[in-house]
Structure 1
Amino acid sequence: MSDEDLRHEDNLIIICGKHHDLIDDRKNEAQWPAELRRQHKRDHENRFRSAERQLIAQFVDSTQATQPTYPKTLKALAKASNWESMFNDPDQIMGITSFIDKLKELPLSEREFAWRLAERMKRRGLDVLPTDDVEGAFNIDSEELKRRMGVLEHHALGSVDDGTGYREWNVSLWSRKHGNNPWIEILEFCEVTRADPAEFIHDLNFGSYDG
């Protein structure tokens, strides 16, 4: 076998110095025939491939597990919200589609958090919530609130903004284009139709807006 053949990828194996000396010693040729060396190479490579696959499997984007169903007419939403002109309105359909495109990329835990914020806003009849109120209600500290709202702001879905008083800050969920707070819109639709908000927020099934 030529030196070039010996250096071919098929004949290369990474081993420790001790084993390299043993295998390379011509006195040990009989103990290390070519087929045995090839088997060791296969075993080594398979072990590292398995470890590589396990590492890759750890980093799965959970937001891609479910793909959205987009509404086409908004017939059911128009009826539930008493907004008849919404039916087949391209601006309204586009506004909700834009919200869905942002929502589908939002991490699941932040979807859940925004959902609960919207429930509290709706229950209290408020468009914004003071940060102190949110921290107390959800038993979280300012750092966690800042982190979660930072993710929502990154996805253009919410933010923490200056309040009207001294050192006052408010949590807000942004309105969708051509509409209002899309999270509360989901809750109000589900209240009328008895649908499950999780169907929209987690399953991304907005086909129910058509009926």
Structure 2
Amino acid sequence: MAKQASGPERNRKEPLSSVARQLWAFSGNECAWGDPHCSTRLVTEEGAWVGKIAHIIGAEPGSARHEQWDGKDVEHLRDFNNLILLCAVHHDLIDSSVARHAYTVEYLRAVKHKHEAKYRYAVENIEAEFRDTVDGSRVRPAATMRRYFTWEGVALEPSEEQEMLDLVNRFAGRVGCLTRMARQVLALVVSEGTPDFDLVRRRFSTDRQTLLSVVRELEKAEMVYLHDEEFDEDRGQLSLVSGALGGVFEMWSQFRNFCRDEDVDLKDILVGLDFSCLD
């Protein structure tokens, strides 16, 4: 454990390179500020770096929010959880002597969490993406869907339950044929309704052509459709279609509501291919 430093300019240390890379990976190349949303790119089209790393709890005595530090481990001050990646304007704003009082530790942590959560799809599953490529997608089908039927609260005949089980497992097989990124996009659309194409592109930190390829994959699988706005795909919206579910469109909302009520991560089912979560 690092010892507490003393004297001026002893607490402030440069972020570790691994922490800086993690901040960048979760940034989506945008300032983390979200109220209102700041779309300032951290790397300009010319390749200039204009982002700044800010401390949530200030490192030095007299700096913004330093009084919230417990005074124990200096290394915690440059930990990933205490740093936020901002544009120059918002970096200076939260540390300004006339404005810093308006930006508490709790507020800035919430800003950081909300922004970074949008981009974790593209980062947290790198190892799983590699595993998919090497081993192939492995679907764990539902065996009984008893948990789902109990949650639904509708009495079905055994033949009706079997029909639903067969439908879901056929769907599971089709989901298992998708690439991981397509499954991630599908999970996002099921969770959030009809997100904008450009929002999804930024969420996954990907380029337009790559996302279009994924959308075409989902369209072919009869799961997601891109509604272009006046032939401008970047301004279009992604919507669900139910061909892969035998035309039972309400199953999309059923999956979403079941996961919410039963505290199941929808990504475990649609991305991790674990349909046994329904049992």
TM-score range normalised by the length of the shorter chain: 0.5 to 0.7
Residues 268 and 274 in structure 2, CA contact (< 8 A), matched pair in contact too: yes
Q: Which amino acid aligns with 1:119?
A: S
1:173 corresponds to: 240
CA distance in 2: counterparts of 1:109 and 1:158, whole angstroms: 13
Please say if 1:190 is aligned against 2:259: yes
CA distance in 1: counterparts of 2:190 and 2:157, whole angstroms: 22
Runs of 5+ in structure 1 lacking a partner? 1-58, 122-127
TM-score calculated relative to the size of structure 2: 0.42
CA distance in 2: counterparts of 1:86 and 1:192, whole angstroms: 24
Larger Rg: 1
Q: 2:156 is paired with a residue of what secondary structure? A: helix
* CA 132–141 in structure 1, closer or farther in 2 if over 3 Å, else same: same
1:156 corresponds to: 222
Q: CA deviation at 1:64?
A: 4.7
CA distance in 2: counterparts of 1:196 and 1:80, whole angstroms: 16
1:97 corresponds to: 169
Q: 1:192 is paired with a residue of what secondary structure? A: helix
CA distance in 1: counterparts of 2:264 and 2:201, whole angstroms: 29
Once the two structures are superposed, residues 156-175 of structure 1 have per-residue CA deviations (whole angstroms, 9 ceiling, x without a partner) of 32222467xx5584422222
* CA 80–96 in structure 1, closer or farther in 2 if over 3 Å, else same: same
Runs of 5+ in structure 2 lacking a partner? 1-129
CA distance in 1: counterparts of 2:146 and 2:181, whole angstroms: 30
2:50 corresponds to: none
Please say if 1:202 is aligned against 2:271: yes
Question: How do 1:58-69 residues align onto structure 2 when only pairs under 5 Å count?
Answer: 62=133, 64-69=135-140
CA distance in 1: counterparts of 2:157 and 2:249, whole angstroms: 13
Q: CA deviation at 1:120?
A: 1.4
Q: CA deviation at 1:132?
A: 5.8
CA distance in 2: counterparts of 1:173 and 1:63, whole angstroms: 30
Q: 1:67 is paired with a residue of what secondary structure? A: coil
Please say if 1:146 is aligned against 2:218: no
From 144, 150, 153, the equivalent of 1:73 is 144
For this pair of structures, how many residues does the alignment match? 144
Once the two structures are superposed, residues 168-211 of structure 1 have per-residue CA deviations (whole angstroms, 9 ceiling, x without a partner) of 8442222212533555433321211112223212332212212x
CA distance in 1: counterparts of 2:195 and 2:157, whole angstroms: 28
CA distance in 2: counterparts of 1:191 and 1:86, whole angstroms: 26
Identity %: 17
Q: CA deviation at 1:78?
A: 1.9
Q: Which amino acid aligns with 1:89?
A: E
Residues 137 and 177 in structure 2, CA contact (< 8 A), matched pair in contact too: no
Residues 92 and 179 in structure 1, CA contact (< 8 A), matched pair in contact too: no
Question: How do 1:108-127 residues align onto structure 2 when only pairs under 5 Å count?
Answer: 108-121=180-193
Q: 1:70 is paired with a residue of what secondary structure? A: coil
CA distance in 2: counterparts of 1:66 and 1:141, whole angstroms: 24
Once the two structures are superposed, residues 62-106 of structure 1 have per-residue CA deviations (whole angstroms, 9 ceiling, x without a partner) of 285442222233221122233433865233122211210111111
CA distance in 2: counterparts of 1:187 and 1:108, whole angstroms: 19
Residues 187 and 267 in structure 2, CA contact (< 8 A), matched pair in contact too: no
